[in-house]
Amino acid sequence: MNQTINYIRTKTDLKPEIGIILGSGLGDFADTVEDAVRIPYGEIPGFNQSTVQGHSGELIFGIVKGKKIVAMKGRIHFYEGFDIKEVVFPVKVLCDLGIDKLIVTNAAGGVNKSFNPGELMFISDHINFNGKNPLIGPNEDVGDRFPDMSYAYDPALLEEVQKIAERLDIAHRTGVYMYMTGPSYETPAEIRMAGILGADAVGMSTVPEVIVANHRHVKVVGISCITNMAAGILDQPLEHEEVLTISQKVSEDFKKLVASIIEEI
């Protein structure tokens, strides 16, 4: 960890207040960062590079709406074969660089039948259906052995973000995100189960990072881009292309929203 932070410090001395993880197809936001210092993951000790299309990996430091931020353009996933500890290493680095808020974004399949592809869902809570918890192992002394997850997605920030979306007239929902390992999409039966268990959307990321942020007392805002209705909700197959196309379609709204969130939280 020290080696990683020291390396980053040779590139920039910016002390970010807010971190943002840009999910599938949502990386364009990185182009709006001013005075950007871009560090490819491949150069950073301890970082791994994603193997997935739409997830090019760069850490970007700079200014958005006057605030100092660090953005992760792309992330690695458990389904790529990485250990859960490797998956959360970058978010630990963000937290240890001193952020006190983390905006975590992803592409997700809609389970709630009232949702539509192209809508944004603010995450109010999650279900870790992967079961793997990134805090398993000796406790790091940055946080409690048994961290509270009652407010994993900070309720006050959630309310602020909902108000911002309303003001900007951006279609939004709020709901529960269920984390599945992937990489195969879920079956229709699994999606029926997800709905019965209380999920509004499903995806293959985010939850490990949010657990680590909570452990390190960093407040979290979660945003899912509903890129498709989950398996079996509509009588049609799912394709990764569709996920990327829809997330790029909402990219303008997403960029506007995230910039305002950064400005106001």
Taking CB under 6 A as the rule, does residue 97 contact ligand HPA?
no
Q: How far apart are CA 99 and CA 70, in angstroms?
A: 8
Determine the 3-state secondary structure of 111 from DSSP: coil
Q: How far apart are CA 256 and CA 164, in angstroms?
A: 10
Q: Binding residues for ligand HPA, how many (CB under 6 A)?
A: 14
Q: Letter for the amino acid at 77?
A: H
CB of 196 to ligand HPA, least distance (A): 17
Which residue number, 90 or 203, has a Cβ lying nearer to ligand HPA?
Answer: 203
Taking CB under 6 A as the rule, does residue 186 contact ligand HPA?
yes
Q: How far apart are CA 54 and CA 27, in angstroms?
A: 8
Taking CB under 6 A as the rule, does residue 109 contact ligand HPA?
yes
Site residues for ligand HPA, window 28-67 (CB under 6 A)?
A: none
Among 60, 70, 108, 121, binds ligand HPA (CB under 6 A): 108
Segment holding 21, helix H or strand E? strand 18-22
Tell me, yes or no, if 199 is annotated catalytic: no
Tell me, yes or no, if 79 is annotated catalytic: yes
Site residues for ligand HPA, window 226-255 (CB under 6 A)?
A: 227-228, 230, 238, 243
User: CA torsion sign, 28 to 33 to 39 to 44?
Assistant: negative
Tell me, yes or no, if 228 is annotated catalytic: yes
Tell me, yes or no, if 205 is annotated catalytic: yes
Asked if 210 contacts 154 with a C-beta cutoff of 8 angstroms, the reply is no
Q: Which residues pair with 127 in a beta bridge?
A: 178
Tell me, yes or no, if 116 is annotated catalytic: no
Which residue number, 21 or 218, has a Cβ lying nearer to ligand HPA?
Answer: 21
Burial class (CB in 10 A: 0-12, 13-18, 19+), 252: exposed
Single out the catalytic residue among 58, 72, 80, 106.
Answer: 80
- Tallying the residues shown for the chain, one arrives at 265
Q: Which residues contact 89 (CB under 8 A, 6 or more apart)?
A: 46, 47, 48
Count of Cβ atoms closer than 10 Å to residue 125 Cβ = 18
Single out the catalytic residue among 55, 126, 172, 215.
Answer: 55
Site residues for ligand HPA, window 197-216 (CB under 6 A)?
A: 202-204
Which residue number, 69 or 108, has a Cβ lying nearer to ligand HPA?
Answer: 108
Which residue number, 14 or 52, has a Cβ lying nearer to ligand HPA?
Answer: 52
State the catalytic residues.
24, 55, 77, 79-80, 107, 204-205, 228, 240
Sites of contact with ligand HPA (CB under 6 A): 107-109, 180, 185-186, 202-204, 227-228, 230, 238, 243
